[in-house]
Structure 1
Amino acid sequence: MENPKAHTVLAVDDSPENLDLIKNILEPYYHVKVAVNSELALQIAASQLPDLILLDIVMDGTDGYQTCLQLKAQDKTRNIPIIFLTAKHSEEDEVHGFRIGGNDYITKPFSPSIVLARVRTQIQLKTKSDLLEKLASLDGLTEIPNRRAFDAALERQWNQSKRTGMPLSLMIADIDSFKQYNDFYGHPMGDECLKRVAGALQSITHRPEDLVARLGGEEFAILLPNTDSIGAMLRAEQYREAVEALKIRHVSNNPTAFVTISAGVASLRAHAHDQYAILLKAADDALYQAKNQGRNRVCANNLTEIP
């Protein structure tokens, strides 16, 4: 059985008696939330993100099928598994439930052992799916978000900027003379350097919406939503200083003889027809300027912030 209270199940039924029965069956093993109608279920699902939803099909007002469709239409709740609760036994009803996104059925009257077994199976599948999704979004060496996770976050924040009109800033950083570091110290030390730099960048990233990612090789990106060009430059300097403060010896990196980064910063208020590629290019151009001006510095693309 699962670790006690490690997961949350939301039970949705307009019958208080059915909800009491489900709670009695599941509460020794799971946190159980209840909702007596579709509207309350949608609110709880979006705010608390349960691991599983038990959803009655026949309810007053919005039925379980419609509730399922609404859950699957929202990014936050689309991946929560759903077990339908039903007194219906027709093959057509079951097929329809699976087609709209249901994962399983439990028929009434409830058998406690069946309820527990099917809930446990769906929780286990969700846990494994979540782990695989997390591993797929992390860089294997540094254990920070990878390029795939960065691209998804950039698209999401870009669309958010379009909706709100708030600025979105991007910093692209590159470890200076990293090829020479690998050549002199060897690739195992190079890997250790990458991990320490990633840790330094991550350690001063405190806002939950900010993202530090490894794009590949010695290149990192930091996404700063709701941050204008002035704020982004201040943050970028903090990141540069954090790496320099590691004091990792690098005899080929003149004039400091320590590992440093160069960074390019760009800020935009996304417009309706803009593509986020323009933000990437602007930050990359600014990084190129930082490299050309001597490295271990931050440059901003001053033409990128659109009022």
Structure 2
Amino acid sequence: MNSTFTLLVVDDEKQNRTLLTELLQDDYQIVLAKNGVQALEKARQHLPDLILLDVLMPQTDGFTVMRALKAGDDTRHIPVIFVSALDSAADEELGLELGAVDYIAKPFHPPIVRVRVRNHLQAVHQRRLLEQLALIDGLTEVPNRRRFAEVYAREWRRCMRSSSPLSLIMVDVDHFKVFNDTYGHAAGDIVLKRVAQTIQDALNRPADFVARYGGEEFVVVLPDIDADRAQVVAEKLRAEVERLHIPYPQPGASQWLTISLGGASQIPKQADVDDRLFIDADTSLYAAKHDGRNRVLWANAHLPGS
């Protein structure tokens, strides 16, 4: 853990804010708020990793702030430690029932506060690592199908708002079963990793995205790219994989292992994802494989703005 973690310290007494800042500023980035209204504003603005929240504050007390945090989609998952002069068991019970991860009574012992903050941030760190691992394909180390669904929906909505095209490419490794049956699954796994890395390296823009969809299939999301430009990208992916010169066990149309790609483009018109874009891309992939493999086919490529 390091200073990339951000803490929001909320207390109406300047002395307490100063004490907590001096205690924690060497290890974390500190954001300060002196009342409940400021606390909610800065929580939404900074989305801190942890909040140290006083209870007794004028106008909007800490318990009210906590309820508002839990009601917000962006803030409900931020862990909160109450730091309060209210030290009865009933107050502590209420704070924990509202969703706080800890309750520290004033006057507090600085070393105890430091250790508790560190422990809770360690839990945050570990949870995020697990969340990231849950979205990565264990074999190829590119994002998995679950992550694709999240990114696809997000980019769909963003392109809808900006009236921008969204392009989708389905990719399939040609005759992969034959490759697996000839060389074994261990060799097949190595090939899938190389193909995945090659596709990922060939995508130039930060917004371009590739995921393993399943088996030997991958899916590529290209926001803000129309059909003509997306086909150029798809052809680049096809050529880069063929350029790996992975020997194919049964030479046919190509001496080397190849991929087939099918794509589609659309300007989203609604908030909910339209399944037709994915279906069109998948249908184009099927057609590319039926027409001889190692090629790119695009749905409705003749239509302007498609």
Shorter-chain TM-score tier = 0.7 to 0.9
Q: Which residue of 2 aligns with 1:269?
A: 267
3-state DSSP of counterpart to 1:246? coil
1:241 to 232, 239, 242: 239
RMSD over aligned CA atoms reads: 2.9
**Bigger mean CA deviation after superposition, 200-209 or 6-15:** 6-15
Q: Which residue of 1 aligns with 2:110?
A: 112
Q: Which residue of 1 aligns with 2:77?
A: 79
Q: Residue 99 and residue 212 in structure 1: after superposition, are their counterparts in 2 closer, same or farther (change >3 A)?
A: farther
Correspondences of 1:208-219 after superposition (within 5 Å)? 208-219=206-217
**Bigger mean CA deviation after superposition, 262-271 or 136-145:** 262-271
Q: Which residue of 2 aligns with 1:288?
A: 286
Q: Which runs of 5+ in 1 are unaligned?
A: none
**Bigger mean CA deviation after superposition, 18-27 or 245-254:** 245-254
Q: Residue 155 and residue 6 in structure 1: after superposition, are their counterparts in 2 closer, same or farther (change >3 A)?
A: closer
Q: Which residue of 2 aligns with 1:279?
A: 277
Listed one character per residue, the Cα deviations across residues 28-86 of structure 1 (whole Å, up to 9, x for unaligned) are: 43333334455665565556554322233444565544544555555554433222232
1:180 to 178, 181, 202: 178
Q: Residue 289 and residue 82 in structure 1: after superposition, are their counterparts in 2 closer, same or farther (change >3 A)?
A: same
Deviation at 1:219, TM superposition (A): 0.3
Q: Which residue of 2 aligns with 1:139?
A: 137
Deviation at 1:271, TM superposition (A): 2.6
- Determine if contact 1:49/1:77 at 8 Å carries over to the other structure: yes
3-state DSSP of counterpart to 1:251? coil
**Bigger mean CA deviation after superposition, 138-147 or 254-263:** 254-263
Q: Which residue of 2 aligns with 1:127?
A: 125
Q: Which runs of 5+ in 2 are unaligned?
A: none
1:148 to 146, 149, 153: 146
- Determine if contact 1:200/1:242 at 8 Å carries over to the other structure: yes
- What is the alpha-carbon distance in structure 2 between the residues aligned to residue 146 and residue 212 of structure 1? 9
Deviation at 1:239, TM superposition (A): 1.8
**Bigger mean CA deviation after superposition, 75-84 or 231-240:** 75-84
3-state DSSP of counterpart to 1:34? strand
- What is the alpha-carbon distance in structure 1 between the residues aligned to residue 225 and residue 67 of structure 2? 35
- Determine if contact 1:177/1:252 at 8 Å carries over to the other structure: no
Pairing 1:257–2:255 present: yes
- What is the alpha-carbon distance in structure 2 between the residues aligned to residue 176 and residue 48 of structure 1? 47
Q: Which residue of 1 aligns with 2:51?
A: 53
| Moved segments of 4+, more than 6 Å | 303-307
Question: What amino acid is the match of 1:211?
Answer: F
- What is the alpha-carbon distance in structure 2 between the residues aligned to residue 69 and residue 306 of structure 1? 47
Percent identical residues: 45
Give TM-score scaled by structure 2 length: 0.86
Q: Residue 179 and residue 253 in structure 1: after superposition, are their counterparts in 2 closer, same or farther (change >3 A)?
A: farther
